[in-house]
Amino acid sequence: MNVRTRFAPSPTGRLHLGNIRAAVFNWLFARRHDGAFVVRLEDTDVDRNVEGAEAQLLEDLAWLGVDWDEGPDVEGPHGPYRQSERMKLYRAAGEKLWAAGQAYPCFCEEGEGEESDPADPGFRRYSGRCRALSPAEAHRRVDAGEPYVMRLAAPLQGTIEVMDEVRGAISVPAEDIDDFVLLRADGRPTYNFAVVVDDVDMKITHVVRGSGHLSNTPKQALLFDAFAVPRPVFAHHAQILSPEGGKLSKRSGARAVADYRAEGFLPEALLNYLSLLGWSDPEGREVLTRDELIAAVSIERLGASDALYDPEKLRWVGSQHMARLSLDEIVAGVRPFLRAAGPPVGEWSGEVLESAVEALRTRLSAFGDVVEHLHYFAPSDEARTVALAAVRQDGSARTVIGAVAVAFAALPDREWTPAGLKAAIVQAGRDTGIRGKGLYTPVRLAVTGQEHGPDVARILHVIGREEALARLAEV
């Protein structure tokens, strides 16, 4: 089978984790089977479309590394790939179903011909009044210009069976589905009709999406049957919920893909994390490269249980991917964030910048995290005041600071390096007979205002001799 999957977002806003998750799995699955991944835009709801949203979502997909073989900006044999440009196709498909006896025009006004369900008074279904019209009468009224909608001639009895690769067999009584509208009076298609027409025309073989679409599936299955084409493989994966188990939203900590990008997350890390939401690696790995994900992905390991968004797990995955980067790659990644922070950190370069990055690299989940850790190099006045008070009250600590200051002052410029500074601190320890925490903690407190943190020798290298000696002198 020539696998063809699709991602069909609406340009009504930014891409969030919930919808990009479907794109990721469909892309991985298509690449796993050397198939095609199609992007098409469901943009028929003009009132909800947001200017610039299409360009943004395509940019987000490209940044994530989710490339497409056919789409709005990539010519293919099944275009166009915007629903707004496919209106003639939908109307022709409606006419085809009518000619085949699978659909019929309905001339009832909105609400007319509907009946309530005694078991569910809130549910109203179409009675099928116009279904009883003879073909000649229906054609006469259409030709006369009478307004109508096109409805599916749904089964009147029996059971609609749908096989889902994640959830198993799904059965829906035929009476639960009425003759739903395919084409509105103005010729625009309804959601379910447009989706199926597109999937048939684009030869989509696998429809993999969130469980929120389960209710649409029986109707879509009927439409595939009406067109007399094989149904695609359906697979409805877990939804992503908030950490508390509620609806995922910005308030619950989730952000748009563009936000993660702006914060400096690695696309490989976000792709990796999204893949683990509702899917598990057969070898139990949690940190996987793009190629490893493609090689391992399968529908069989998709879970039905909803997945919880875990921002801490995302950050952990981010840190694991960050650890695989070279120093030069991290330097290049953090540089824009340091420049945005302004002087003096924005002016760091060369060995000084490399020392700063080396000091912080194990603390980074995203490039933008570097800004959160700048306090190690430029502590607040409040933090230093508290730290200096603690050092001044400790005679041993004052002794250490005095010896270290002397050692630093005597250090040649060429030895003002992390290695040279560490050697100077060690020598001060020998001179005073103080070792371990008793040696390093006073220096760290005096320089950074904190008891714990990155390699203090690298911090000293970054801030420079003049600033280092000035901070020690304040003790």
Domain assignment present for 125:
yes
Q: Are residues 117 and 232 in the same domain?
A: yes
pLDDT, one tens digit per residue, over 68-88 is: 999 999 989 999 999 999 999
Q: What is the C-alpha separation between 410 and 205, in angstroms, rounded? A: 74
| 7 SS3 class | strand
* Extended strands (E) in 286-346: 307-308
* Residue 11 counted as domain residue: no
> Domain holding 373: CATH number?
1.10.10.350
Average pLDDT, the chain: 94
Do 232 and 337 lie in one domain? The reply is no
**Cα(96)–Cα(101) distance, rounded to whole angstroms?**
9
Residue 148, both tokens: 């109508």
**Alpha-carbon distance 48 to 9, whole Å?**
13
Query: Per-residue pLDDT tens for 91-126?
Result: 999 999 999 999 999 999 876 656 655 566 566 788
CA distance 288 to 282: 12
Tell me, yes or no, whether 392 lies in a domain: yes
Q: Quick one: 347 and 224 in the same domain?
A: no
What angle, rounded to 10 degrees, do the helices at 217-226 and 191-201 form?
50
**CATH number where 134 lies:** 3.40.50.620
**What's the pTM?**
0.90
Same domain, 222 and 343: no
Query: Do 93 and 228 lie in a common domain?
Result: yes
Angstrom CA distances, 271 to 14, 28, 94, 274, 281, stand at 17, 10, 39, 5, 14
215 and 110 in one domain?
yes
- Per the CB < 8 A criterion, the answer to whether 148 and 185 are in contact is yes
pLDDT of residue 46: 85
Structure confidence at residue 45 as a pLDDT band (50, 70, 90) = confident
CB half-sphere exposure, 122, CA atoms < 13 A: 0
Q: Which of 237, 253, 275 is the last residue of a domain?
A: 237
Number of folded domains that form the chain: 2
Prior bond of 80 cis (ω within 30°): yes
User: Does residue 321 lie within any of the structural domains?
Assistant: no
| 226 touches 97 (CB < 8 A) | yes
Q: Check: CB of residue 366 under 8 Å from CB of residue 264.
A: yes
Q: Taking residues 143-158, what's their average pLDDT?
A: 96
Domain that holds residue 432: 333-473
Work out the average pLDDT over 454-464: 95
- Residues acting as catalytic residues: 250
Of 25-34, 122-131, 178-187, 300-309, minimum mean pLDDT range: 122-131
- Which of residues 170, 203, 237 is at a domain's end? 237
- Percent helix, strand, coil in the chain, to 5, is 50, 15, 35
Residue 343 domain-assigned? yes
Quick check: is 32 in a domain? no
Q: For residues 126 and 148, what is the distance between their CA atoms, to the nearest angstrom?
A: 14
Pick the last residue of a domain from 214, 237, 260. Answer: 237
> ∠140-148-135 over CA atoms, to 5°?
35
| pLDDT for the residue numbered 73 | 95
Q: Is residue 290 included in any domain, yes or no? A: no
| Within-domain flag for 295 | no
Has residue 285 got a pLDDT over 90? yes
Residues 123 and 231 in one domain: yes
